[in-house]
């Protein structure tokens, strides 16, 4: 929507689009004067943020006019070494010709020589399609180094997860527990929801080693040691079971608690669900022939047999002599060991507090049960007159995920939430479309090296959800096929890949060298890599013949960063204010609890300089390389550009399922599914850039087993199959991997050196184990846990080029408890060293009562390399800011591995490959008396051609504020 007015010969306009100063995607209004962005506020008509804006969102102006903008394609000068940031401008024609030639050769010879990895973008449906059509398996986005444990741990248990996939229903909750979260991706909506929840008298408990962000307004802060959340959840499960306070009806009917397991330990089906030979399997991916034990008739029956009350405990024998037990009996056995006293020693939370927390949950469920007069029918044909709920809501994120025990800890949280009966019910956790998905989802990665063929798209998308060893992407000897080793026996359920391993693996040529690495908006030479100093050396390292070990690096970004210094070719992206974007149901939409919602961005200003949206770059390359999905039968290109692609692309010919769900059909009258509408972008632009489809109330709850909803979800392309989604308290997926590792199955088995690892960690029931790094750490020497958090005013490393936000976070301290600090002789504000067994940094200390004494922490990615982001070489970010990554190893030899000289593995979760950022242990001590800057320092990065001036000049010019601002910007090239 566009409003125009003219005052004293000025053209004033207000345009609506979608913010991208963080991943939350609020609706914004951009106010322009004579085409120049002058003001950004929240769009009151947008359902997500309802007019609310945050510091980041309103500072989008300074991102648009940042002096760190890249404005033209750049090629590394032939006489310059990689990493020295010496570039020359080239035209887009030259850049495209270079890429077309190189990529065409790789695609025709060995497609996996091309690797595409992307950061926190919101277009993975397109980038994933590009990789699939290219035929390379070497693709992933940032999830592996972010919170893939959260997605995997939850989805492998309940078929949904937090944030984009689901969240706490704070409108109806009475008790809210937030764990391992400071500030969240779902930023403004969560702030709005928490404030309403608190005003309505809800009780908010924050469980976190640090009390910052949302936790600052919690009613109670429960400090916990990093990496121990799983032990707390297991103890809470213990208490709920011991006091018989779990939701019996929910657990019995909607989870696999009552399904019978084969307990014959000499059978190769040991620990798997027994099947009724007379009942149809219906779908081998999600068999519907598991058995219950009828506790009255004392015999096995097909699960969900009408009128049967199944046993949740006991041992039984089937007619064929197979010993069986309900899976819940094993969960009880497991939880019996996990007493509050046991957990207290691990977590630092005393046993009485753990008991009280469990009691509070149980009391809330008992005393505040919600009953809504909404009739619904479950997948087994039973009609329920009401929807009920227990108003206990949870929210969790990276604090749990970024540990090598994160997957199992998050499984424990999902089981706890399920025992409380809070899944997709009012007041608890609610799914967001297209979730829930099957457990696990039906998409599988390729599973053989033969799936990678010259000039041929992959048969499946490069990422997926393995359900058994047969789904792994390994060769005949069990070795990895992907450069990041995702879906290998090292990280079998690496559903988001391991971007953090790519540079090290490619540098070492393990499992093979690659030719071209394309990185989109990820700062792999700084805050997105562990072991940053070494990774920077690897990026510029050469073979004996003088060629770089990673021969060609393409960086696509809107800003110059530490990473752009290591590029051979830089492609300048646009900002979010200059382009079209689709936040799609095929990717990461902004759905609400009551139905699917997607949104778009439309340009409010033209691209700066020669900037080109990365989407257009992909469409251009896909057309030049003649990918089938981008080419007509006569070989000509199918789409002129991204806009046309988004409107016309379908998941399958004639499916009617495309990127956007709103205004489909030729006349725009269809929703969710329908023919392409050439005016679809205009409709979104006219309607605040958002489309919200509200489900009928009868389909808004219990969607995993809601019969009509499941049918609807298949019809509308949210799911492939309509089988009910039963919650996996017990994971037979995990047990299948364990059986293979134990040599009990005839199919694929892990290589010998990984058998014990897979058998140990692939436990079908959640459990807590020490993070892997502790194996190699002398805890007496390195007694402190060190973690980072993302502040509310900056989204990771995105904003150090932003003159306004730099004023909030221009330097960072290591925060620590004063009691502990004084014992170490450290003064508030004093210079200190922080040392792990992997490295050392010098920084400033800051006392804080809001951190438990065994933990130190800092803001993520405030510290920068000198000269990066077009900051002056003496900017605070490099002189008083620091990066904790220098202390974190990217690979982890365990004690046992070092002794047996076995290969190193990524410092990641052994199940999912999630980067274990928060496992590092450190010690701290005072620095030299004359210390006045942080260490390590790097040679200052050079300004790039096309640079838009200095921060000081830009800000002064902006506040002067009259006319021709953007033009003056471009003419300003001097650096302060
Ligand atoms: S929360 Fe994120 S998307 Fe919303 S206004 Fe702030 S920066 Fe923009």
Percent of the chain predicted with pLDDT > 70: 95
Give the C-alpha distances (Å, rounded to integers) separating 9 from 590, 737, 919. Answer: 40, 71, 60
Give the H or E element holding residue 49.
none
For the ranges 3-7, 526-530, 590-594, 924-928, the lowest mean pLDDT is seen at 3-7
Would you state the pLDDT for residue 578? 98
Would you state the pLDDT for residue 1? 45
pTM for the whole structure: 0.96
Would you state the pLDDT for residue 899? 61
Which of 16, 17, 18, 19 most suits a substitution to test ligand 1, by most atoms within 8 Å of the C-beta? 19
Would you state the pLDDT for residue 143? 86
Determine if ligand 1 sits within 6 Å of the CB of residue 48: no
Determine if ligand 1 sits within 6 Å of the CB of residue 53: yes
Determine if ligand 1 sits within 6 Å of the CB of residue 586: no
Determine if ligand 1 sits within 6 Å of the CB of residue 120: no
**Are the C-beta atoms of 621 and 102 separated by less than 8 Å?**
no
- At which residue do the structure tokens 């010098």 appear? 842
Determine if ligand 1 sits within 6 Å of the CB of residue 21: yes
Determine if ligand 1 sits within 6 Å of the CB of residue 26: yes
For residue 791, the CA-to-ligand 1 centroid distance in Å is 13
- How many CB atoms lie under 10 A from the CB of residue 929? 7
Which of 23, 57, 214 most suits a substitution to test ligand 1, by most atoms within 8 Å of the C-beta? 57
- At which residue do the structure tokens 């014990």 appear? 756
Mean pLDDT of the chain: 94
**Ligand 1 atom with minimal separation from the 55 CA:** 6
For residue 619, the CA-to-ligand 1 centroid distance in Å is 28
**Are the C-beta atoms of 454 and 106 separated by less than 8 Å?**
no
Task: State residue 901 phi and psi, 5-degree precision.
Answer: 55, 35
- Is 976's pLDDT higher than 80? no
For residue 570, the CA-to-ligand 1 centroid distance in Å is 28
Would you state the pLDDT for residue 186? 86
Calculate the CA dihedral of residues 53, 55, 58, 63 and round it to 10 degrees: -140
Confidence label for 953 from pLDDT (cuts 50, 70 and 90): low
For residue 559, the CA-to-ligand 1 centroid distance in Å is 19
Q: How far is CA 379 from the centre of its chain?
A: 31
Confidence label for 952 from pLDDT (cuts 50, 70 and 90): low
- At which residue do the structure tokens 């992909």 appear? 618
Give residue-wise pLDDT tens across range 563-601.
Answer: 999 999 999 999 999 999 999 999 989 999 999 999 999
Q: Name the closest-CA residue to atom 4, ligand 1.
A: 26
Q: What angle do CA 572, 500, 404 make, to 5 degrees?
A: 150
- At which residue do the structure tokens 């060995």 appear? 110
Instruction: Over range 389-413, report the average pLDDT.
Output: 97
Determine if ligand 1 sits within 6 Å of the CB of residue 19: yes
Instruction: Over range 58-70, report the average pLDDT.
Output: 95
CA distance 142 to 151: 13
Q: Name the closest-CA residue to atom 5, ligand 1.
A: 57
Tokens read off for 832: 């200190």
Would you state the pLDDT for residue 967? 52
CA distance 272 to 264: 10
CA distance 407 to 148: 9
Task: State residue 843 phi and psi, 5-degree precision.
Answer: -155, -175
Would you state the pLDDT for residue 950? 53
Which of 16, 17, 18, 22 most suits a substitution to test ligand 1, by most atoms within 8 Å of the C-beta? 22
Which of 43, 46, 53 most suits a substitution to test ligand 1, by most atoms within 8 Å of the C-beta? 53
**Are the C-beta atoms of 423 and 727 separated by less than 8 Å?**
yes
Q: How many CA atoms lie within 13 A of 680 on its CB side?
A: 33
Give residue-wise pLDDT tens across range 646-667.
Answer: 999 999 999 999 999 999 999 9
Give residue-wise pLDDT tens across range 283-342.
Answer: 999 999 999 999 999 999 999 999 999 999 999 999 999 999 999 999 999 999 999 999
Q: Name the closest-CA residue to atom 2, ligand 1.
A: 22
- Is 383's pLDDT higher than 50? yes
Give residue-wise pLDDT tens across range 807-856.
Answer: 999 999 999 999 999 999 999 999 999 999 999 999 999 999 999 999 99
Determine if ligand 1 sits within 6 Å of the CB of residue 212: no
- Is 964's pLDDT higher than 60? no
**Are the C-beta atoms of 161 and 143 separated by less than 8 Å?**
no
For residue 18, the CA-to-ligand 1 centroid distance in Å is 9
Q: Is 205 helix (H, G, I), strand (E, B) or coil?
A: strand
**Ligand 1 atom with minimal separation from the 795 CA:** 7
For residue 964, the CA-to-ligand 1 centroid distance in Å is 28
Given the DSSP bridges, would you call strands 203-207 and 175-179 parallel, antiparallel or unpaired?
A: parallel
Task: Report the first-to-last Cα separation within the chain, whole angstroms.
Answer: 40
Which of 184, 187, 191, 689 most suits a substitution to test ligand 1, by most atoms within 8 Å of the C-beta? 187
**Ligand 1 atom with minimal separation from the 28 CA:** 5
Would you state the pLDDT for residue 596? 98
- Is 968's pLDDT higher than 60? no
CA distance 913 to 892: 12
Determine if ligand 1 sits within 6 Å of the CB of residue 25: yes
Give the C-alpha distances (Å, rounded to integers) separating 322 from 264, 271, 316, 318. Answer: 7, 12, 8, 5
Confidence label for 280 from pLDDT (cuts 50, 70 and 90): confident
CA distance 333 to 766: 12
Q: Which residues pair with 88 in a beta bridge?
A: 75
Please, is 606 exposed, middle or buried when counting C-beta atoms within 10 Å of its C-beta (0-12, 13-18, 19+)?
Answer: exposed
Give the C-alpha distances (Å, rounded to integers) separating 488 from 474, 529, 708. Answer: 6, 21, 38
Q: Is 23 helix (H, G, I), strand (E, B) or coil?
A: coil
Give the C-alpha distances (Å, rounded to integers) separating 513 from 552, 568, 846. Answer: 12, 17, 44
- Is 897's pLDDT higher than 80? no
CA distance 141 to 119: 6
**Ligand 1 atom with minimal separation from the 42 CA:** 5
| Angle (deg, nearest 10), helices 406-419 and 148-158 | 40
**Ligand 1 atom with minimal separation from the 49 CA:** 4
CA distance 619 to 315: 59
Q: Name the closest-CA residue to atom 8, ligand 1.
A: 57
Tokens read off for 853: 């004494």
Given the DSSP bridges, would you call strands 429-431 and 87-89 parallel, antiparallel or unpaired?
A: unpaired
Give the C-alpha distances (Å, rounded to integers) separating 855 from 209, 210, 354, 689, 851. Answer: 7, 8, 20, 43, 7
For residue 24, the CA-to-ligand 1 centroid distance in Å is 6
Instruction: Over range 857-870, report the average pLDDT.
Output: 95
CA distance 229 to 268: 33
CA distance 114 to 377: 49
Please, is 919 exposed, middle or buried when counting C-beta atoms within 10 Å of its C-beta (0-12, 13-18, 19+)?
Answer: buried
Calculate the CA dihedral of residues 476, 479, 483, 484 and round it to 10 degrees: 130
Q: Considering all CA atoms of the chain, what is the largest pairwise distance in Å, rounded to the nearest integer?
A: 92
Would you state the pLDDT for residue 895? 56
For residue 168, the CA-to-ligand 1 centroid distance in Å is 19
CA distance 496 to 445: 11
For residue 625, the CA-to-ligand 1 centroid distance in Å is 37
Calculate the CA dihedral of residues 759, 764, 767, 772 and round it to 10 degrees: 30
| Angle (deg, nearest 10), helices 340-347 and 229-242 | 170
For residue 574, the CA-to-ligand 1 centroid distance in Å is 18
For residue 806, the CA-to-ligand 1 centroid distance in Å is 17
Sign of CA dihedral 70, 76, 77, 83: positive
Confidence label for 893 from pLDDT (cuts 50, 70 and 90): confident
- Is 211's pLDDT higher than 60? yes
Would you state the pLDDT for residue 249? 97
Give residue-wise pLDDT tens across range 455-496.
Answer: 999 999 999 999 999 999 999 999 999 999 999 999 999 999
Question: Residue 302 contacts by C-beta under 8 Å, 6 or more apart in sequence?
Answer: 276, 279, 289, 290, 291, 292
- Is 88's pLDDT higher than 70? yes
**Ligand 1 atom with minimal separation from the 21 CA:** 7
Given the DSSP bridges, would you call strands 203-207 and 552-557 parallel, antiparallel or unpaired?
A: unpaired
For residue 782, the CA-to-ligand 1 centroid distance in Å is 38
Give residue-wise pLDDT tens across range 512-555.
Answer: 999 999 999 999 999 999 999 999 999 999 999 999 999 999 99
Determine if ligand 1 sits within 6 Å of the CB of residue 24: yes
Q: Which residues pair with 378 in a beta bridge?
A: 706
Instruction: Over range 220-240, report the average pLDDT.
Output: 98
Percent of the chain predicted with pLDDT > 90: 90
Tokens read off for 105: 């050769």
Q: Is 604 helix (H, G, I), strand (E, B) or coil?
A: coil
Give residue-wise pLDDT tens across range 679-716.
Answer: 999 999 999 999 999 999 999 999 999 999 999 999 99
- At which residue do the structure tokens 């590792």 appear? 741
For residue 881, the CA-to-ligand 1 centroid distance in Å is 24
Instruction: Over range 422-438, report the average pLDDT.
Output: 98
Give residue-wise pLDDT tens across range 27-48.
Answer: 999 999 999 999 999 999 999 9
């Amino acid at each position: 929507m566009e409003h125009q007015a003219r005052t004293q010969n000025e053209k004033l306009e207000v345009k609506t689009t979608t913010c991208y100063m963080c991943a939350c995607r609020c609706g914004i209004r951009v106010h322009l004067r004579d085409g120049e962005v002058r003001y950004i506020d929240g769009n009151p008509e947008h359902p997500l943020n309802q007019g609310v804006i945050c510091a980041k969102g309103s500072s989008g102006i300074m991102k648009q006019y940042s002096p760190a903008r890249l404005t033209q394609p750049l090629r590394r000068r032939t006489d310059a070494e990689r990493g020295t940031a010496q570039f020359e401008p080239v035209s887009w024609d030259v850049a495209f010709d270079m890429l077309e030639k190189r990529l065409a050769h790789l695609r025709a010879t060995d497609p996996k020589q091309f690797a595409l990895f992307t950061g926190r973008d919101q277009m993975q449906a397109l980038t994933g399609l590009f990789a699939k059509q290219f035929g390379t398996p070497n693709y992933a986005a940032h999830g592996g180094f972010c919170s893939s444990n959260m997605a995997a741990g939850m989805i492998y248990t309940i078929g949904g997860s937090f944030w984009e996939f689901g969240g706490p229903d704070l409108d109806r909750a009475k008790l809210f527990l937030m764990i391992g979260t400071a500030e969240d991706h779902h930023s403004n909506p969560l702030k709005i929801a928490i404030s309403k929840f608190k005003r309505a008298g809800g009780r908010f408990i924050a469980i976190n080693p640090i009390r910052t962000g949302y936790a600052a307004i919690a009613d109670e802060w429960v400090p916990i040691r990093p990496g121990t959340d799983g032990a707390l959840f297991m103890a809470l499960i213990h208490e709920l079971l011991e006091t018989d306070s779990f939701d019996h009806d929910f657990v019995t009917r909607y989870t696999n608690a009552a399904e019978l397991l084969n307990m014959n330990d000499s059978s190769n089906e040991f620990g798997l669900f027994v099947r009724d030979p007379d009942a149809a399997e219906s779908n081998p991916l999600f068999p519907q022939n598991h058995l219950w034990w009828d506790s009255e008739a004392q015999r096995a029956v097909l699960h969900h047999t009408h009128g049967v009350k199944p046993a949740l405990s006991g041992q039984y024998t089937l007619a064929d002599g197979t010993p069986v037990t309900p899976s819940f009996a094993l969960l009880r056995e497991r939880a019996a060991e996990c007493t509050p006293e046991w957990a207290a020693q691990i977590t630092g939370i005393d046993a009485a507090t753990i008991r009280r927390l469990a009691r509070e949950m149980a009391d809330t469920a008992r005393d505040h049960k919600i009953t809504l007069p909404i009739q619904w029918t479950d997948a087994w044909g039973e009609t329920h007159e009401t929807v009920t709920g227990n108003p206990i809501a949870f929210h969790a994120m990276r604090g749990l995920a970024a540990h090598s025990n994160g997957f199992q800890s998050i499984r424990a949280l999902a089981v706890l939430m399920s025992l409380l009966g809070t899944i997709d019910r009012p007041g608890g956790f609610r799914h967001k479309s297209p979730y829930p998905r099957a457990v696990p989802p039906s998409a599988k990665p390729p599973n053989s090296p033969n799936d990678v063929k010259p000039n041929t798209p992959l048969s499946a998308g490069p990422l997926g959800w393995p359900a058994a060893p047969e789904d792994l992407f390994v060769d005949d000897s069990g070795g990895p096929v992907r450069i990041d080793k995702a879906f290998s026996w090292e990280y079998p359920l690496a559903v988001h890949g391991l971007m953090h391993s790519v540079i090290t693996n490619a540098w070492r040529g393990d499992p093979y060298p690659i030719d071209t690495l394309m990185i989109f908006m990820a700062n792999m030479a700084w805050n997105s890599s562990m072991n940053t100093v070494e990774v920077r050396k690897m990026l510029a390292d050469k073979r004996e013949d003088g060629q770089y070990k990673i021969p060609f690096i393409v960086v696509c970004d809107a800003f110059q960063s530490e990473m752009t210094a290591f590029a051979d070719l830089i492609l300048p992206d646009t900002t979010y204010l200059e382009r079209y974007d689709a936040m799609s149901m095929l990717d990461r939409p902004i759905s609400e609890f009551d139905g699917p919602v997607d949104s778009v961005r439309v340009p409010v200003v033209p691209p700066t300089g020669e900037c080109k949206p990365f989407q257009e770059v992909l469409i251009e390359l896909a057309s030049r390389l003649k990918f089938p999905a981008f080419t007509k039968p006569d070989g000509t290109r199918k789409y002129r550009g991204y806009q046309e692609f988004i409107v016309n692309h379908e998941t399958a010919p004639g499916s009617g399922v495309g990127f956007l769900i709103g205004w489909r059909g030729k006349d725009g009258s269809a929703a969710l599914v329908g023919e392409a509408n050439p005016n679809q972008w205009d409709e979104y632009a006219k309607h605040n850039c958002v489309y919200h489809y509200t489900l009928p109330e009868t389909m808004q709850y219990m969607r995993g087993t809601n019969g009509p909803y499941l049918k609807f979800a298949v019809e509308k392309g949210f799911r492939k199959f309509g089988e009910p989604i039963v919650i996996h308290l017990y994971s037979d997926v995990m047990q299948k991997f364990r059986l293979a590792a134990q040599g009990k199955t005839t199919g694929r088995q892990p290589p010998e050196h990984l058998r014990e690892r897979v058998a140990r960690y692939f436990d079908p029931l959640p459990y807590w184990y020490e993070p892997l790094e502790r194996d190699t750490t002398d805890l007496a020497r390195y007694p402190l846990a060190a973690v980072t958090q993302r502040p509310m005013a900056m989204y990771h490393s995105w904003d150090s080029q932003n003159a306004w936000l730099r004023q909030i976070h221009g330097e960072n301290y290591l925060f620590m408890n004063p009691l502990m600090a004084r014992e170490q002789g450290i003064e508030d504000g004093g210079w200190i060293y922080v040392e792990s067994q992997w490295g050392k940094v010098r920084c400033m200390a800051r006392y804080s009562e809001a951190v438990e004494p065994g933990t130190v922490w800092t803001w993520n990615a405030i510290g920068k390399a000198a000269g990066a982001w077009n900051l002056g070489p003496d900017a605070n970010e490099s002189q008083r800011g620091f990066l904790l990554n220098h202390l974190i190893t990217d690979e982890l030899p365990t004690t046992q591995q070092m002794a047996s000289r076995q290969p190193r593995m990524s410092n990641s979760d052994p199940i999912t490959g999630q980067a274990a950022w928060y496992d590092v242990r450190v010690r701290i001590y005072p620095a030299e008396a004359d210390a006045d800057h942080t260490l390590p320092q790097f040679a200052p990065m050079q300004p790039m051609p096309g640079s838009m001036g200095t921060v000081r000049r830009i800000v002064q010019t902006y506040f002067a504020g009259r006319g021709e601002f953007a033009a003056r910007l471009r003419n300003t090239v001097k650096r302060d």
